[in-house]
Structure formats: C-alpha cells, structure tokens
Amino acid sequence: MERKKSMGIHELVTIDPEILSGQPVFSGTRVPIDSLFDHLEAGVSLDDYLDDFPSVTRNQAVALLEAANRLLSSKHIERLYEAVTG
C-alpha cells in the first residue's frame, strides 16, 4: 500500500501580518487554523466544518489534525510545553 506524503507546515499554514494581523490561517485562505479546533471541540463534524469554510480542503484539515497529533505525541512535547509556559 502506498503512503501519501504528509503536507509540510508551510503548505498548511500561512502567517502573514497582512492576513488577519498575522494570525495563522490555512494556506490560500483567510480561515484561522484555530477555527478547526474550536468547531471540533464544540461537537461540529469535520464535514459540517468544511461546509462552513469551503475554502479549506479536506486534505488541509486532515493534514493539520495529523500534524497536531504528531506534535502532541512527540517525545519532545515536554520541552515544547516548558517553552510555551515559561
């Protein structure tokens, strides 16, 4: 079975001071990436989220969730947590 190559972070996320004051957005859109997590946390299905934000592709949303999973399950998460919380 052939594995699909994961999207790189630069293919997924854009941070540009000219777009939503530098808030991270899905690349090629003006949709903040945190909107996906907010919707899922509120119980909205991925299909409904994608209906609400048609400029975000299913591939982008799934790749972002996979990247978040890899980050949170990484052996380096403790160092990241310490860096963020000071």
C-alpha 75/C-alpha 38 separation (Å) is: 26
- Domain that residue 53 falls in: 9-85
- CATH number of the domain encompassing residue 77: 1.10.10.10
Residue 2 lies in a domain: no
C-alpha 21/C-alpha 59 separation (Å) is: 25
Residue 3 lies in a domain: no
Residue 21 lies in a domain: yes
Assign 3-class secondary structure to 34-81.
HHHHHHHHCCCCHHHHHHHCCCCCHHHHHHHHHHHHHHHCCCCHHHHH
pLDDT tens string 18-73: 999 999 999 999 999 999 999 999 999 999 999 999 999 999 999 999 988 888 88
The domain tally of the chain equals 1
Residue 4 lies in a domain: no
pLDDT tens string 12-25: 999 999 999 999 99
